[in-house]
Structures are given as structure tokens and as C-alpha cells.
Amino acid sequence: MSDRNKKAVVLLSGGLDSATAMAMAADEGFEVYAMSFNYGQRHSAELDCASEQANKTAKEHKVVEIDLRAFGGSALTDDIEVPKHNSTDDLSDEIPVTYVPARNTIFLSYALAWAEVLGADDVFIGVNALDYSGYPDCRPEFIEAFEAMANLATVVGVQGRKLTIHTPLIALTKAEIIKRGLELGVDYAKTTSCYDPAPDGRSCGHCDSCLLRRKGFSDIGETDPRKYVGERNE
Amino acid sequence: MSDRNKKAVVLLSGGLDSATAMAMAADEGFEVYAMSFNYGQRHSAELDCASEQANKTAKEHKVVEIDLRAFGGSALTDDIEVPKHNSTDDLSDEIPVTYVPARNTIFLSYALAWAEVLGADDVFIGVNALDYSGYPDCRPEFIEAFEAMANLATVVGVQGRKLTIHTPLIALTKAEIIKRGLELGVDYAKTTSCYDPAPDGRSCGHCDSCLLRRKGFSDIGETDPRKYVGERNE
């Protein structure tokens, strides 16, 4: 494969999507450099999962400390209550309160910096169709604009190379993502998508993200191996 | 003035250029929110100057801690020797070793996040013509691409507003920048452009940045009030 042994920076959150994107990058023959962010999340479950995924697949894993909390404006980093629902039918089309200002822009900017130092021309981010209904910085047109900007921002463009932002999940449903990940051996027990996990790391099962994830497993007749609060597996 | 009392985020490094850009933003009637970065610089002179400038002009000053050093790759944050010359004729056209990977991309991304939280539609950055000969992320086409991306990245674009990245210095020579700043009352003694200042904060006088700055003052028949190593004013 032409891409074999080429380096790629993969943004890894500890969630289901980015774990799958990383597995797909490795399957395409990339040597994976995983990058996670400690941005004042209210819980460590995400980063614990990111480390477990990276240990299995990545050549190197960098956790960058950033302080998004300084800007406020999001339920994921502030003390705003995370919305809970009983089914995906209750989810709204508005921009979620869990939106973190300019988060993907900042994350991709750090990925770009690391890619430049590594000499990597490829960055993977696990955004997908279900996300970009609500988050402006998950839309395909945002990713295209970021890629265009990135090629002007760095020596990559000056040297006649081209930086590519890969979004292998962008057109997939949650069910399709999970199906692909299971084929590639992703251990989804060691991923968390929950916006509001219990202190022991178990997922709540009722935030927007938990609901979408569980529906994805259900749609393909699989059981989500993640531990949820109040379930038999606790 | 139509922009009076509108908020603007201004990237403030402590150097001559960004101090001037901030003064120009204030002169245009913007309420200034200054943002600086502690990114593992080898000296604190820059941030000391940024604070002095911000205290005079900004409504609020935020210093964001970021660790660009984690990525290496630059004389400003690594232990690479800063190049020294005797005149501006010696400066090369190549990308300087003092280039920090994706620095302006990361800085502008944080500015974008803060602008979104503040509800500001305007960001100022003091890039100029002399810089973009060497740094890819100071070129006008980079700024335009960033602005296009930013309007897709955030709720600003979704809500039908428009985020503008202002580069008031982009077409000015160093001499023209200084002339404008002096008209606006910028105290250039409290700005530093030096890549390699002495432990007491005095500028070296011989790095690329010091040479360009001193030539700018000289071109308009003014004396640089900054203290330099080995000068009478020490």
C-alpha cells in the first residue's frame, strides 16, 4: 500500500468515533501518532480510554494540556447541567450547550503543529454526519476550509507538499462506524462517549452522546460492551 | 464611529507590531480584549511588555498557557542558537529557524474561541509585510484562509454574523508602523522585539528582529527608546 509507513497524526478523544478513525488510519498503513487533549474535562474517563486505545495502536501518544475552561461557554467544561433524554427522538437540531467554542479548530491547529514537526502530511479526525447536524466545526465545509488554511499556514505548503485532513467517518452513520470498528478489532468497552459519566467512569446512558451510541449498537444487533450506570453489568 | 464600543480580541505579544495593532484597534473605537500566550518562551520580557501595554489600553488581558515546546522545532522555544547579524542586508529569504510550527494558527484559534465567548466579531493580529517574507503563517493569503475557516467553525457564521480578522499592519513597512504608533502614543520603550534578550530584559540588538526594528526607527529619524545591551542607556 502506498501509504505504508507514512506518519499520520490522529486526534483521539477516548470516544467511539476517534478510536474507530484511528483503527482505520492504521488499517490504511499509517504509522499513528495519537494526540489527545486535557482541556478541563469534568472527568478523566475520556483520557483513560484514549490511553488504552493509543497503547494498542499508536506509535506515540501525546496529551496536550489546554485550558478551554478559561473561556467558559460550554457544559463540558463549565458547571452547566448536561441535558438528559430518554431517546434519540428527543434530541434537538440546535447547537448543543455541550458545544465548546472553537474546539476542533484548536485541536486541529495543535495536530497541524505536531504534523509539521513530525514531517507528517496526514491528520485524521473522527467527525461524522451525526455530529455536524449540531456542531458547526464538524461540518465537511469546515474541514475543507481548515485544510485549505493549513496548507498556507505551514512549511508543508511552501515546500510543495500537501497536508490532508482525513475524515473517514464523515459520511457514516453511528451504526456503520461501529460495524467498521468491530471488523478492525476496536475494543469499544474501552471507549467512552458519555458527557456526564459516574465518578467510577461508567457512562450515564441518557445524555445525547450515550443515546446515539447505544442506538448505533442496537441498529446492527450488537451489544454495547461499555459499562453503564444502573445496568446488570455493574 | 460605527465600531465604537464593539469588542475586539487583539493578539498581543509584547512586541512593537502587536502593541501598534492594539493601539490602532482602540483608535478605531473597539473595546480591546488582549490575549497573550505563555508558550515556553526562553524569557519573560515579552509577557512583561504585553502586560504593560494591556494595562494601558485593554479592557481585559488574558495570558493563555500553551506548551508549544512539546513539539520542538524552533529556536524560540528550543536550545537552538538564535542567528545574529550585523545589518539587515545579511537576513536570508529562507524560513527562519525561529519559526514556531503553526504558531499563528494556534494563536488565532484561541482568539477565535475567546471572540465566540465574548460575542466579538473582530480579531486583530499584527502581522506585517516584513514578516511574511519568511513566515508562511504571516502571509495575507493565510489570514484570508483562516478567516474563511473561522466563519465556518463557530456559531458566528451559523447565526449570520461575520468574523473579521483585521491585519492593520499587513501592508506597512516597519518605519510606517512605528510612525503610526508614535502618533497614537504607543510607548515603545515598553515593547520588545528581541529573540534573545539579556537576563535583565534588555534587547540584544543583533538578532533579525532587533535589526529590523532599529532600522525602522532610523528610517524615520527617530531613536528607539528600548534599552539594548552594551548601549549608553544601560
**Taking the C-alpha atoms of B67, B72, B76 and B77 in order, what is their torsion angle to the nearest 10 degrees?**
50
Sheet of B60-65, strand order: B60-65, B30-38, B6-11, B122-124, B164-166
The number of C-alpha atoms within 13 Å of A100 and in the hemisphere containing its C-beta is 20
Q: What is the pLDDT of residues A59-113, one digit of tens each?
A: 999 999 887 666 665 544 555 455 566 666 555 555 454 566 788 999 999 999 9
No. of helices (H) and no. of strands (E), chain B: 7, 5
Q: Where are the domains of chain A?
A: 6-79+100-192
Answer positive or negative: Cα dihedral of A220, A223, A226, A229. Answer: positive
The answer to whether the CB of B142 falls within 8 A of the CB of A153 is yes
Please tell me whether residue A166 adopts helix, strand or coil conformation.
strand
d(Cα B74, Cα A176) in Å, to the nearest integer? Answer: 42
DSSP A33: E
The answer to whether the CB of A214 falls within 8 A of the CB of A56 is no
* Grid cell of B230 as nine digits: 552594551
Q: B154: which chain A residues are within 8 Å (Cβ-Cβ)?
A: 101-102, 105, 136-137
Please judge whether A73 and B117 are an interchain contact, meaning their C-beta atoms are less than 8 angstroms apart: yes
Chain B CB within 8 Å of residue A220 CB: no
Please judge whether A152 and B141 are an interchain contact, meaning their C-beta atoms are less than 8 angstroms apart: yes
Please judge whether A137 and B153 are an interchain contact, meaning their C-beta atoms are less than 8 angstroms apart: yes
Chain A CB within 8 Å of residue B80 CB: no
* Rounded average pLDDT over A190-198: 87
Please tell me whether residue B32 adopts helix, strand or coil conformation.
strand
Q: At what angle do helices A174-183 and A16-27 cross, to 10 degrees?
A: 50
Please judge whether B153 and A102 are an interchain contact, meaning their C-beta atoms are less than 8 angstroms apart: yes
Range from A8-22, A34-48, A208-222 carrying the lowest mean pLDDT:
A34-48
Please give the pLDDT value at position A42: 64
The answer to whether the CB of B71 falls within 8 A of the CB of A113 is yes
> What ipTM was estimated for this complex?
0.85
d(Cα A14, Cα A48) in Å, to the nearest integer? Answer: 7
Chain A CB within 8 Å of residue B110 CB: yes
| pLDDT tier, A27 (very low <50, low <70, confident <90, very high otherwise) | very high
CATH of domain B6-219: 3.40.50.620
* Grid cell of A205 as nine digits: 446512558
* CATH of the structural domain A6-79+100-192, one choice from 3.40.50.720, 3.40.50.620, 3.40.1440.10, 2.40.420.20: 3.40.50.620
Please give the pLDDT value at position A234: 42
State yes or no: pLDDT of A3 exceeds 50: no
The answer to whether the CB of A33 falls within 8 A of the CB of A114 is yes
Please judge whether B102 and A113 are an interchain contact, meaning their C-beta atoms are less than 8 angstroms apart: yes
Chain B CB within 8 Å of residue A99 CB: yes
The answer to whether the CB of B30 falls within 8 A of the CB of B20 is no
How far, rounded to the nearest angstrom, does the alpha carbon of residue B163 sit from its chain's CA centroid? 20
Tell me how far CA of residue B195 lies from CA of B85, B92, B201, in angstroms.
12, 16, 11
The number of C-alpha atoms within 13 Å of B114 and in the hemisphere containing its C-beta is 26
How far, rounded to the nearest angstrom, does the alpha carbon of residue A59 sit from its chain's CA centroid? 18
B185 phi-psi bin (left φ>0, alpha ψ -120 to 50, beta other): left
Q: What is the pLDDT of residues A138-183, one digit of tens each?
A: 889 999 999 999 999 877 766 778 999 999 999 999 999 999 999 9
Q: B74: which chain A residues are within 8 Å (Cβ-Cβ)?
A: none
Please judge whether B64 and A68 are an interchain contact, meaning their C-beta atoms are less than 8 angstroms apart: no
Provide, for chain A, the percentages of residues in helix, strand and coil under a 3-state DSSP scheme, each rounded to the nearest 5: 40, 15, 45
In the block, cell 539579556 appears at B198
Biggest alpha carbon–alpha carbon distance for chain A: 57
Interface test with A, best of B109, B112, B142 (most A CBs within 10 A): B109
Please give the pLDDT value at position A79: 52
- Reported residue count of chain B is 234
Q: Which of B64, B101, B155 sits opposite A136 (nearest CB)?
A: B155
pLDDT, one tens digit for every residue, chain B (234 residues): 444 469 999 999 999 999 999 999 999 999 999 999 987 776 788 899 999 999 999 999 999 988 766 666 554 455 545 556 666 655 555 545 456 678 899 999 999 999 988 999 999 999 986 665 567 888 899 999 999 999 998 877 667 789 999 999 999 999 999 999 999 999 999 999 888 888 888 899 998 889 989 999 999 999 999 999 987 544
Please judge whether B153 and A146 are an interchain contact, meaning their C-beta atoms are less than 8 angstroms apart: yes
The answer to whether the CB of B71 falls within 8 A of the CB of B101 is yes
How far, rounded to the nearest angstrom, does the alpha carbon of residue A95 sit from its chain's CA centroid? 18
Chain A CB within 8 Å of residue B154 CB: yes
